[in-house]
Amino acid sequence: MSGTNTVNSKVTYRRLLSYTFQSKGVFAMSVFSMILVAMSQPAFAALLQPMLDGGFVDKDPEVIRWIPAAVIAVFLVRASAGFASDYGMTWIGRVVILKLRDQMFSHLIYMPNKYYDNTSTGETISRFTYDVEQLANASTTAVTILIKDTLMIAGLIGWMFYLSPMLAAVFLVLGPLMALIVTLVSRRFRAISRRIQKTMGSLTHVLEESVQGQRVVKIFGGQDYELQRFAESNNSNRVHHMKLLVSTSLSTSILQVIVAFALAGIIYVAIQEGLKDNLTAGTFTAYITAATMLFAPVKRLTNINAVIQRGVAAAESVFSFLDIDPEQDRGSHISKQVKGEINIENLTFAYGEQHEKPVLDNINLHIKAGETTAFVGRSGSGKSTLVNLIPRLYHGYKGKILLDGVELDEYRIKNLRQHITYVGQEIVLFNDTLERNIAYGADWASPEDVKKAADSAHALEFIERLPEGMQSIAGERGVLLSGGQRQRLAIARALLKNAPVLILDEATSALDTESEKAIQSALDTLTKNRTTLVIAHRLSTIENADRIVVMDSGKIVEVGTHQQLIVNGGVYSALHNTQFNETETREQPQGECDEEGKY
């Protein structure tokens, strides 16, 4: 199992590095600069031998003359090459982040509804923020250290071999032990990094829910509960970060101790009588300096292992997201205009394999073009699911759904949705101007078109009272507007699109009585000569529908007009009587009280 994980990690890391290698020119320049930086270390160590032997022991004037210039040259090369490599790799890192986030967002907006149903918003946001940053560090910072420090170590050991092969062999003997430690620690790094990602997703999820539901939190006194949830996620994140730090520090310390033993062994061997005559003071000092210089790159290479494993864990999360199949769009049919006739034949649908009972069971229905059809039923009857299949928000149903005689799957999905407009119970407004919210997706619309739609939806009357009019900001999710105002903006958006198929999900539910009458009048105008599908919760709003489809447990149990269904005395009649009695009870006037306060 661990072997398979290792292979998968290598494949993931190679896929990650492919983003780095896309900037070939900058990467090549950075690598060349890293080589210069790496070679500057053994170059400086090499200068110590002639400086000591030629300058201090032999008093050679030629050596005394060129050594200072050589030292300056080495450090100038190191400084300029270091800047070039750091800048180049940082530039590549930000480009990797830019490309990945663009790619992820382009993928996100075409994700099927099932992804949104099964994934929390916090988890998705965490992928875009935390995971991508970790991934970029592994693809650039880690690569920089791997290349530069590996070359540095190779250069230093090469110089040590040149000076004394016997002394350098001490380091090679301990090499396999160091490699084994790095391999064992890598597995733990990767496992902890995956847990850190999960805690970040959980942390973001709790934060997002608390912000969006802040009114419920306050009114229902949920502050203590939310504080506890956040504290648990926050502490879990801290604990796993500390575990990662412990593993990193221990592995680094152990490797440094191994290097120290190697250095002690070198010194011991060097002072033996058999070697004393073969080493000059300059050679030994240069050798010890080179050996000491190994500590820093070895430590960085050990620490960078944690960065790589965090990056691999983050890459697994990001790439698993990118590998999710987007919405299926295999159709090729494009229609400039449709009448709006809908045929549903033997339709059966379930949300997933775990649902043994289908949500929709053998639905057959014909909706004429321009007809207003209302869907009613108890909660969970399948009416919303049925209507959501029309714009292809879900796939995988059995049977057929046809629009103007063409199966929905045969349409290009973008073309299909151009013929459908929607006003929902949950109003979605963006933190933008009212004008842009109304004209969302309608780049062709002029300010006059937007104003006309707002007027028809009775939204213009409150928009013109605002200081900035159409340029007023709606706020996040329309928080700066009342429920009725948000609903009217959504209706204006649907009016502006002017599509032949209209879906209304209780579009007047958030309006007061006065606004409801005005909007109902606008909706009556909107639904003329359009195929309108109404998901009804209050039966009083659909009494004038051409047909009413009554659903129960995923099946159609009744179809007819309001009058026909009342006369039939079936499910619809029972629902209507229940709502009518509740309304009558709420509106029944109370008796007048006498002077003593008694009725």
pLDDT at residue 142 tops 50 = yes
Instruction: For residue 585, list its beta bridge partners.
Output: none
Q: DSSP secondary structure string, 47-92? A: HHHHIIIIIIIS--HHHHHHHHHHHHHHHHHHHHHHHHHHHHHHHH
Q: Is the dihedral of CA 511, 517, 518, 524 positive or negative?
A: positive
Encoded tokens for 143: 């690569």
pLDDT one-digit tens code per residue, 374-402? 999 888 888 989 998 999 988 888 999 99
| pLDDT at residue 168 in the model | 66
Q: Is 72 exposed, middle or buried (0-12, 13-18, 19+ CB in 10 A)?
A: exposed
At residue 111 the predicted structure's pLDDT band, cuts being 50, 70 and 90, is: confident
CB of 473 closer than 8 Å to CB of 431: yes
- Residue 459 covered by a domain: yes
The closest alpha carbon to 449, from 492, 391, 508, belongs to: 492
pLDDT for the residue 591: 45
Please give the residue that has the higher pLDDT: either 412 or 288.
Answer: 412
Among the residues of 390-445, which ranges form H helices? 413-418, 434-438
- The confidence score (pLDDT) of residue 400 equals 93
Question: Percent of the chain beyond pLDDT 90?
Answer: 18
Question: Region 452-465: what's the mean pLDDT?
Answer: 87
Same domain, 188 and 114: yes
Is 586 a residue whose pLDDT tops 60? no
Residue 334 lies in a domain: no
Higher pLDDT, 186 or 537: 537
Calculate the CA 326 to chain-centre distance.
Answer: 14
Whole-number percent of the chain with pLDDT over 70: 82
The answer to whether position 330 is within a domain reads: no
Amino acid sitting at position 425: Q
User: Stretch 103-129: mean pLDDT, rounded?
Assistant: 85
Output the furthest CA–CA distance in the chain (Å, rounded).
124
Query: Is position 309 within any domain?
Result: yes
* Mean pLDDT for the stretch of residues 146-170: 79
pLDDT band for position 112 (50/70/90)? confident
Q: How far is CA 113 from CA 323, 418, 428, in A?
A: 16, 18, 16
Is 175 a residue whose pLDDT tops 70? no
Q: What is the pLDDT of residue 273?
A: 42
Q: Looking at the structure, do residues 246 and 366 belong to the same domain, yes or no?
A: no
Specify whether the CB–CB gap between 442 and 494 falls below 8 A: no
Q: pLDDT class for 531, splitting at 50, 70, 90?
A: very high
347 in the same domain as 313: no
> Based on the domain organization, do 298 and 351 belong to the same domain?
no
Secondary structure of residue 418 in the 3-state scheme: helix
Q: How confident is the model at residue 133 (pLDDT cuts 50, 70, 90)?
A: confident
Alpha helix segments (H runs only) across 271-393: 273-276, 281-293, 295-322, 383-388
Work out the mean pLDDT of the chain and round it to a whole number.
80
Neighbouring CB atoms inside 10 A of 156's CB total 23
Contact predicate 138/420, CB 8 Å: no
* Alpha-carbon separation of residue 167 from 179, 194, 263, 556 (angstroms): 20, 42, 9, 88
Does 211 have pLDDT greater than 50?
A: yes
pLDDT band at 179 (very low <50, low <70, confident <90, very high): low
Task: Please say if the pLDDT value at position 595 is more than 50.
Answer: no
Same domain for 420 and 301: no
Same-domain pairing of 391 and 425: yes
Closest CA to 51 of 74, 28, 35: 74
Tokens 């034949």 belong to 345
The mean-pLDDT minimum among 150-164, 332-346, 462-476 falls in 150-164
Considering the domain boundaries, does residue 337 fall inside one? Answer: no
How confident is the model at residue 514, as a pLDDT?
58
Instruction: Tell me if 122 sits within 8 A of 207, measured CB to CB.
Output: yes
**Residue 548 pLDDT greater than 90, yes or no:** yes
Q: Are residues 352 and 496 in the same domain?
A: yes
Same domain, 280 and 362: no
For residue 110, tell me if it sits in a domain.
Answer: yes
Same domain flag for 248 and 360: no
Contact call for residues 428 and 212 (beta carbons, < 8 A): no
pLDDT confidence band for 597 (50 / 70 / 90):
very low
399 by Cβ neighbours in 10 Å (0-12 / 13-18 / 19+) ranks as middle
- Are residues 327 and 413 in contact, defined by beta-carbon separation less than 8 angstroms? yes
CATH number for position 88 = 1.20.1560.10
Confidence at residue 218, expressed as pLDDT on a 0 to 100 scale: 61
- Average of pLDDT values for 117-126? 82
The Cα 67–Cα 70 span in angstroms is 5
What's the pLDDT score for residue 1?
43
In a domain? residue 454: yes
Q: Are 348 and 427 in contact (CB under 8 A)?
A: no
Q: What is the CATH number of the domain that holds 395?
A: 3.40.50.300
Task: Give residue 451's domain range.
Answer: 342-585
Please tell me whether residues 572 and 493 are part of one structural domain: yes
Question: What distance in Å separates the CA atoms of residue 552 and residue 547, rounded to the nearest whole number?
Answer: 17
- Mean pLDDT across 33-40: 90
From CA 218, how far away is CA 102, in angstroms rounded? 37
Residue 581 is predicted with a pLDDT of 67
- pLDDT value of position 344: 94
Q: List C-alpha distances in Å: 509 to 162, 458, 531, 551.
A: 85, 16, 21, 21
Amino acid, res. 107? H
Between 378 and 175, residue with greater pLDDT = 378
Least confident of 5-9, 14-18, 427-431: 5-9
Task: Give whichever of 28-42, 175-189, 417-431, 483-497 has the largest mean pLDDT.
Answer: 28-42
Decide which of 271, 291, 322 is a domain's last residue.
322
Q: Taking residues 132-158, what's their average pLDDT?
A: 84
Higher pLDDT, 252 or 396: 396
Distance CA 350, CA 358 (A): 4
Higher pLDDT, 598 or 27: 27
- In this structure, the answer to whether residues 228 and 356 fall within a common structural domain is no
If asked whether residues 247 and 356 sit together in one domain, one would say: no
The answer to whether the CB of 124 falls within 8 A of the CB of 115 is: no
Domain edge (last residue) among 289, 322, 355: 322
Q: Which residues pair with 548 in a beta bridge?
A: 374, 560
State mean pLDDT over 468-477: 85
Q: How many domains does the chain have?
A: 2
Q: Which of 13-22, 170-179, 257-266, 425-434 has the lowest mean pLDDT?
A: 170-179
pLDDT higher than threshold 50 for residue 580: yes
Residue 45 forms part of a structural domain:
yes
pLDDT at 288: 77
